[in-house]
Amino acid sequence: MSKAKTATPVTDPVHTRAPYWQDVPDEKWMDWRWQMSHRLNSVEELDAVIRLTESEKKALGTTGLFRVDITPYFASLIDPEDPHDPIRKQVIPTAREMVPFHSMMEDSLAEDKHSPVPGLVHRYPDRVLMLVTTQCASYCRYCTRSRIVGDPTQTFSRSEFDAQIEYIQNTPQVRDVLLSGGDPLVLAPKLLDMILGRLREIPHVEIVRIGSRVPVFLPMRVTPELAEMLGKYHPLWLNIHVNHPNEISPELAAAADRLTRAGIPLGNQSVLLAGVNDSVRIQRKLVHELVKIRVRPYYLYQCDLVAGSGHMRTTVSKGIEIMEGLRGHTSGYAVPTYVVDAPGGGGKIPVQPNYVLAQSPSKVVLRNFEGFITTYTEPEDYDPREVEAQEALIEPRPEPGQSGVLGLLQGEKMFIEPEGFDEVHARGGSEHRLRSGEVKQKWQPLGVGAIEHEPPEPRQLAEKVDDEEEKEAEGDAASG
């Protein structure tokens, strides 16, 4: 691990600065440390820059509210006279944030429940989420992790970092590590360098990803030195978080350019927010502006059921409407995947309009974005076994207990039962002659899953039946 270089302020021209800071020298303004030390978080500070509403003042004066901190740069993107400004709604609280709503939870995605060690979430078979800090450059009002984010007492310790790394080292099925938090790019450069270096020493970790809103909240943090340091750890991917076209400034474009020139592919994760971007027109403008700065739209999230976000949620049907207005209406490369991150910890579930209208063994009926309806004729001689010789050359990856619906399709099992299914339907009865011992084999479907004595393959059975029928036919012909 090489020694981290001393970062120098970015010297790009200043394009975004509110009149309140007009006397700040450019060198200070473009210094990310100055931005972090001058963040706004009180009624007095914000009211000097933005004309606050009574609802905003009430929320800002409430104790126990999720943390408020806004960089001067990001505050400069807000229209100070517009109470409906889409950037303002993302970072300045209102009294509506204090109103509880049905189904809200502290940890709606059950991340802490699915953490084998503190700060490491292993939800999917081959990848883990590694939370490396609870701090951000600014704080989103709809933050999924508001239970820990922004709270200095929840910061992860060195021993917890070590436990996270040890778990990954001891779990060879993990090929992909996502760093998040908080925001990994607010970490001290030496600490981030150390974490990336240790991950890169693990042979089975193929890629590392970073989720960060720093390029959006604090683009001057993306210095040439930071981009160079990140570029040492390829293959490394980075997803930023832009929700509205107004956030795409010349400063963000310059930061994205520094990252892409360091060989880092960029994606964008947006959250669907009421009054911010719940519009086909806004979403189209957003994805068009993103691809112009070489950022590919990746996910559009349904807002989570996290406390404080009730007034920012839309219906899922609005998200489907937006996807209807993107797919086919603009470049496929600019269309994100719309997902609901399942409450209770089920992971991301993609949701989209239905393009398959009907199916038969020989045809599929489909429709396009215009409503044009067509049929696709299925091949009559397709043999899905033809690829098996090539497939056998690739070692299957372990997915213990998580093969899911794919396991049903591939014959590992024939059904997925809810926990306690058999006990519920036994209705408290004791074992008896019809459902105990060896007779339990009556519920083992032939040829599906693993049983003690492998049955003949269905194809072999069919061939045997065909042979017997052929012999019978020959015997009938001879006797005739």
**Percent over 90 (pLDDT), the chain:** 78
pLDDT in tens, 55-83: 999 999 999 899 999 999 999 999 999 99
pLDDT band of residue 12 (cuts 50, 70, 90) is confident
Question: Distance between CA atoms of 413 and 401, rounded to whole angstroms?
Answer: 12
For Cα atoms 294, 297, 299, give the angle at the middle one, nearest 5 degrees: 150
b/e map of 227-236 (b: 16 or more CB within 10 Å)? bebbeebeeb
- CA-nearest of 172, 236, 168 to 204 is 172
The tokens for 405 are 């619906």
User: Would you say 302 and 319 are in contact if contact means Cβ atoms under 8 Å apart?
Assistant: yes
Q: How many CB atoms lie within 10 A of CB 295?
A: 25
Contact between residue 107 and residue 8 where contact means Cβ atoms under 8 Å apart = no
d(CA 215, CA 250): 11
Per the model's pLDDT, the better-predicted residue between 472 and 247 turns out to be 247
Report how far residue 380's alpha carbon sits from residue 366's, in angstroms, rounded to the nearest whole number: 19
Averaged pLDDT of the chain: 91
CA distance 394 to 400: 18
Distances from the Cα of 323 to the Cα of 23, 279, 293, 363, 368, angstroms: 44, 10, 22, 26, 13
For the beta carbon of residue 464, count every other beta carbon within 10 angstroms.
11
* pLDDT of 25 over the 60 cut: yes
Q: Model confidence at 452, in pLDDT bands (50, 70, 90)?
A: very low
pLDDT in tens, 391-434: 999 999 888 888 899 988 888 888 888 888 888 888 788 888 77
Asked if the model's pLDDT at residue 476 lies above 90, the reply is no
- Beta strand segments in 103-244, E: 120-124, 127-131, 176-180, 207-211, 236-240
Residue reference for tokens 């957003």: 286
Residues written for the chain: 480
Give me the sheet containing 296-302, strands edge to edge.
Answer: 120-124, 127-131, 176-180, 207-211, 236-240, 266-272, 296-302, 337-342, 347-350
**pLDDT (0 to 100) of residue 454:** 46
Residue 182, preceding peptide bond in cis (omega within 30° of 0): yes
Higher-pLDDT residue of 64, 466: 64
Closest CA to 301 of 236, 241, 249, 211: 241
Confidence at residue 276, expressed as pLDDT on a 0 to 100 scale: 98
What global pTM score does this model have?
0.88
pLDDT at 453: 38
The pLDDT of 85-104, averaged and rounded, is: 96
- Mean pLDDT on 148-152: 92
For 192-221, what is each residue's pLDDT tens digit? 999 999 999 999 999 999 999 999 999 999
CA distance linking residue 464 with residue 74, whole number of Å: 73
Interval 175-189 mean pLDDT: 96
Average pLDDT over residues 376-390: 96
Contacts of 83 (CB under 8 A, 6+ apart): 53
d(CA 376, CA 366) in angstroms, rounded, equals 8
pLDDT grade, residue 4 (50/70/90)? very low
Dihedral of the alpha carbons of 125, 131, 132, 134, in degrees to the nearest 10:
180
Percent of the chain with pLDDT over 70: 91
Q: What is the pLDDT of residue 437?
A: 73
Report the run of H or E that residue 6 belongs to, with start and end: none
- Of 266, 189, 271, 247, nearest to 8 by C-alpha is 189
Beta-carbon contacts of residue 391 (< 8 Å; ≥ 6 apart): none
Contact call for residues 225 and 262 (beta carbons, < 8 A): no
| Residue recorded with tokens 């090489």 | 2
* Active site residues per annotation: 123-124, 127, 136, 140, 143, 145, 304, 341, 348
